[in-house]
Structure 1
Amino acid sequence: MALKRMDNVGIVVEDLDAAVAFFLELGLTLEGRATIEGDWSGKVTGLHGQRVEIAMMQTPDGHSRLELSRFLKPATVADHRNAPVNALGYLRVMFAVDDLDETLERLYRLGATLVDEVVNYQDVYRLCYIRGPEGLLIGLAEELG
């Protein structure tokens, strides 16, 4: 049996509304919001008695999703948002954009900061990392030519 697809990447946030607004500005669409709770959900995650508010965001091509989660119960127990890019574990989400400069200008207005600088990779891509809402590490890439 073959792998069919990757359905989504999950990111835990404190301010779900701000995270949704940021990713809407980036160009994702909001598929829906819901509160997830009940015995079944705790059996999946191992956090019995959990209550989580989620927002499912979809990329414009319809192929990828980002699940933003705010834990109401239990409280979050660790914070990896300010880990350097060489830390073990999940690093970042990378998005392809049409116009990197225009995208950065829009995201700066929502508090995004450039990690270091925009670089040209072999005249194929312009790339950068930004810190988005709550310090989330996000990669942006503009294909050249």
Structure 2
Amino acid sequence: MYRQQAFVLCSAFLLALFIGKGSAAQCYQCTTTSAGPTPGCVTGALSATNQLQCPSGQDHCLTSTTYTTLLGVSTVTTVRACSAAALPSTTCLNLGAIGISFTSTCSTDNCNTGDNANTGVCGSAVKIAGGYSFIALSMLAALLAVQNLM
């Protein structure tokens, strides 16, 4: 019994020596919309006050640009945040009749400076339509909110 406990303690100690802290990026973290631009978060006029250190393990920066039209009013919303996962390319989310969202990631500090152009179609990217649009958009909003809390 004693030998087993000693082995577990030694193993845990050695494992702790070889596992480093996860890396984290520094990214712009803010949200702006064409209906009410947030100073310092607009593409081309980003403020250093929005450059924040990401939590450990989140070593990518994310930019999500959503183009919506509701009741005849078109709005562009851009969210900049940290991300634990990298996307292989710009990912598209079809929001059905209300709009379209494009999300991209990058892996250098403060690289999320632009916005994702509206190509008008999702092409070969992931398409989500119908009743699943609301669920997917809600999940994305929840993930972004959780990242900002950590």
Classify the TM-score, shorter chain.
under 0.3
Structure holding more helix per residue: 2
TM-score by structure 2 length? 0.23
Structure holding more strand per residue: 1
